[in-house]
Amino acid sequence: MSDIIHLLPDSVANQIAAGEVVQRPASAVKELMENALDAGGGNIKLIVKDAGKTLIQVIDNGCGMSATDARMSFERHATSKIRKADDLFAIRTMGFRGEALASIAAIAQVELKTKRIGDDVGVMIEIEGSEVKRQEASSCAEGTSIAIKNLFYNVPARRNFLKTDAVELRHIMDEFQRVAIPNPQVGFSFFHNNTELFNLTAGNLKQRLMALFGNSYNTRLVPVEEETGIVNIKGYVIKPDFAKKTRGEQFFFLNKRFIKSSYLHHAVQSAFEQLLPKDSYASYFLTLDVDPKSIDINIHPTKTEVKFEDEKAIYAFLRSTVKKSLGQFNIAPSLDFDQEAHLYNMPLKPVDGIYKVPTIKVDPNFNPFVTGALPERNTSERELSNRANWEKMYSRHADNQLEIEIKKEENNQQTIDADWDNELHESSLKTAYQLHNKYILTHIKTGLMVIDQQGAHERILYERILEAFEKHKSATQQELFPKTIELNASDFALVKELQPEIHAMGFDISEFGKNTFVIHGIPADTVNMDSVALLEGLLENYKQNLQELKSDKRENLARSMARNMSIKSGRTLTQEEMNNLIDELFACSMPYSTPSGKPTITTFSSEDLDKRFKK
Ligand code: ADP
Ligand code: MG
């Protein structure tokens, strides 16, 4: 019998290795971002499409590669980071195995563009399933850009095994955070499907944490810092008052590498001992620096566990350091720990030392249903002309009523002395009828007008919201008991993107850690509406409108919010409410249709009616 053992071709060996190194898009993100860090640039950009299934691109402004190195970088066990076995014990770079690029190139279509700082030309290499397809000179920017397209295109089993985009994106975000937190001196940005999820400017650790988890972290973080012969500890823990029932944020970085360690977690958790409410977890962001000699990170390419000497000593030291920091914090609760971040500092206590109950700011003009009086709005020209049209449409009775209303506006006392006026007012107020809790019927000079109550209200709110965008203000009603709303990653990103507009509409929201917002206030019109339902409804409508209104986010927001807030068909309206609605509608610039173009009004002339009665 002949011998049966043979060497595997490189492409097969690489594919097998890839099984270990690249389990999902997030693993590729991690490898590329670590390479970018190792290259030493100050800025790293991550671009992802379809949660990494279609594209993962990392662009850095680091050292770049020569054409030969660029070609070499895709070989297995090709690295510039170590040369001999001894180097393994002095590793300061993130990578050292020389496996990542070879593995990735075995299971994806990769395009590398790179140029060393100072070189005239760079190089572009296209490689697919470990096979170089193209290599040519390229006039690219200094630094390196690597794009990975169609990950697992040739490993269908792996591809099918991937979870939904939301889940894969979550993993990518985790990896992004794990690289971004311990490297605050580097700027990072992260785009997903053309939306910027993060833009982290270079700064200190506190600023980095605030950029990632929200400005509210400014007052939650307690600094931890201590140095000994075996380990330097630096970072922050979260004040016990803000501990979470879920696991919250727990980050250890060992020599800038994210690690998991239940042993060290226990050390921190026990430092909090009595301070944490039952079943709550400590949150922390702690960097441990040790001599690379004392750790063995060479366990597994993607494992986050490490082994280190002096484990017990590090445990004890970590515990006492955190304890000490918490103790200091208890003595001086409002101490400002980090002057560098003063820009974001909000005093824990009001300047005058007195806590105020949240005030309710209500713009009386914002609610068409408050009183029977005409709203005191700044009457613009277009409103006047529309009101004039409306007056023309109205019958004599209504004309008189309008005169009275205008008079009422002039003398704010709302006292109308002549009984005769009052009678007329009363009778004309009764000229609106509600049909099936859906339509408002009213007479006009030429016949009968039917108004769709929901559509009309949508139009009114829509124009008001657009106006608020222009003027950058609208009334907010502060919530006595602010609620939190937890969103999935993509909705969270969407709200962040829309935050300025959402504020302009009258919401008062702020970030509250991972994927969560606190709603402090809602638009003043939305009396009795649940703040969480309101924001969720807005998002839902917004997303539905996205197909149709891709480009214009204000337009979309105004429409979505108007739809969301409007009085719905089925609601009984009082006379006052109907009159106000009619009034407000005709103060709009486009009273005759809803924001999405459906009619708000239809009329029947007397002649139409005559015809129906065969007169
Ligand atoms: P490792 O990072 O373990 O060395 P990789 O396969 O990730 O292995 O990368 C191989 C080599 O390619 C690296 O050692 C480095 O020299 C080079 N390289 C990879 N990415 C970059 C980059 N963004 N900028 C400069 N050089 C890079
Ligand atoms: Mg690497």
- Give the pLDDT confidence of 489-532 residue by residue, as tens digits: 878 888 988 898 898 888 999 998 888 999 999 988 776 778 88
**Residue 63: what are its φ and ψ, rounded to 5°?**
-70, -25
Specify if 163 maps to a domain: yes
Q: Residue 148's closest CA among 50, 63, 16?
A: 50
Ligand 1 contact, 18 CB (< 6 A)? no
114 and 169 within one domain: yes
Ligand 1 contact, 127 CB (< 6 A)? no
Q: Residue 183's closest CA among 207, 205, 206?
A: 205
309 and 191 within one domain: no
pLDDT at 413: 33
Find the CATH number of the domain harbouring 252. 3.30.230.10
245 and 190 within one domain: no
pLDDT at 302: 56
Mutational pocket test of ligand 1: of 35, 96, 144, the residue with most ligand atoms within 8 Å of the beta carbon: 35
User: What does the block give as tokens for 240?
Assistant: 């016990």
Where among 294, 309, 339 does a domain terminate?
339
Q: What's the gap in Å between 31 CA and the centre of ligand 2?
A: 5
Count the domains in the chain. 3
- Distance between CA atoms of residues 68 and 276, nearest Å: 56
pLDDT at 527: 63
Mutational pocket test of ligand 1: of 20, 34, 38, 114, the residue with most ligand atoms within 8 Å of the beta carbon: 38
Specify if 247 maps to a domain: yes
Where among 311, 339, 367 does a domain terminate?
339
241 and 154 within one domain: no
Where among 282, 309, 339 does a domain terminate?
339
115 and 21 within one domain: yes
462 and 589 within one domain: yes
pLDDT at 103: 92
Residue 273, CB-side half-sphere exposure with 13 Å CA sphere: 9
User: What does the block give as tokens for 176?
Assistant: 């992004």
Q: Which residue positions in the chain have pLDDT lower than 50?
A: 299-300, 331-382, 389, 392, 394-429
Question: Which residues span the domain enclosing 272?
Answer: 206-339
SS3 sequence, 526-546? CCCCCHHHHHHHHHHHHHHHC
Find the CATH number of the domain harbouring 50. 3.30.565.10
179 and 157 within one domain: yes
* CB-neighbour burial class of residue 96 (10 A; exposed 0-12, middle 13-18, buried 19+): middle
125 and 241 within one domain: no
pLDDT at 148: 97
Ligand 1 contact, 78 CB (< 6 A)? yes
